Amino acid sequence: MTMHKPAATRNPPDGGHSSNGRILVAAEELFSAHGFAAVSINDIALRAGVSKANVFHHFATKNALYLAVLRRAQRDAAAHLHSLEQDTGPLPARLASFSGKHLLRLLEQKQLSRLILRELLAIGPDRARELAENVFGENFRHFVLILRAGQQSGELRSDLDPAVMATTLLGANVFFFEAQTLLRQFWDVDFADSPERFTTTLIEIVLHGICPIPRNVQEKFRPAVGSTDSSTPGVPARRGQKRRQRPH
């Protein structure tokens, strides 16, 4: 009945140099790299340069700390994706821009991305709703809305579910991110280290498909998508030393 647990879930004031912030940062790094269960409070305390007891001073339980990290990640992601909105220019160019930035963001924030993808593999329907509403929901819906508008203005085919369009585009990006290490192993693949090249081709595929486009319509109906780069991606000649040697 002492009730001297002052902290529980303090509001996280800063992001870096208070103890609270350092704990959050350390926890994010470790959870992202190794997963929830594989990281001990001691690890986090050590990396944050505080005592283990201090971690429990700021966060009631390990789980609460994990949730705090997740929430911060969600907030960051949502905030950043907000800035991706761009309402000028033709829709294909906007899609290309969005997709490119989305992939870049995934790669820049490896930790965060991995954290969320890990979470995706473990959640049940209950937490799915929270994630859906707090992180992806708004952006996904916004994306779908843009696509739907494009359908009504005639810029996009209206016989396709826009949500599938969105899933395809985002899914390809996410997969590129999580399989990047793996893609590097294939000699067929020379874009593993060049997200720009991947994005360019991906957008071209999603916009116009992989089936041949007859000559007479080719130019009329294929809006350029920025990237005045004259060289087509083509079947890329083997890039400079990509040769990965087998150890034996």
C-alpha span between 115 and 28 (Å, rounded): 8
Q: Are 82 and 102 in contact (CB under 8 A)?
A: no
**Residue 174 in the binding site for a copy of itself (CB under 8 A):** yes
- By CB under 8 A, name the one of 128, 193, 196, 224 that touches a copy of itself: 128
Helix axis angle for 162-178 and 195-208, nearest 10°, is 160
Q: Where are the alpha helices (DSSP H) in 134-231?
A: 137-152, 162-178, 180-183, 195-208, 215-218
Fill in the per-residue mask, 86 to 105: x = in contact with a copy of itself (CB under 8 A), - = not in contact: ------x-------------
Q: Which stretch binds DNA (CB under 7 A): 24-32, 51-59, 142-150, 202-210?
A: 51-59
Cβ atoms within 10 Å, residue 69: 27
Task: Choose among DNA, a copy of itself, none what residue 75 binds, the Cβ cut-off being 5 to 8 Å by kind.
Answer: none
Residue closer to DNA (CB basis): 62 or 127: 62
**Residue 5: CB minimum distance to DNA, A:** 7
The verdict on 31 binding a copy of itself (CB under 8 A) reads no
Q: Residues 11-30: x/- map of binding to a copy of itself (CB under 8 A)?
A: --------------------
Question: By C-alpha distance, which of 123, 85, 88 is closest to 102?
Answer: 85
Member of 43, 76, 138, 155 binding DNA (CB under 7 A): 43
Q: What is the spatial distance between Cα 223 and Cα 95, in angstroms, rounded to a whole number?
A: 12
By beta-carbon proximity to DNA, the closer residue of 56 and 140 is: 56
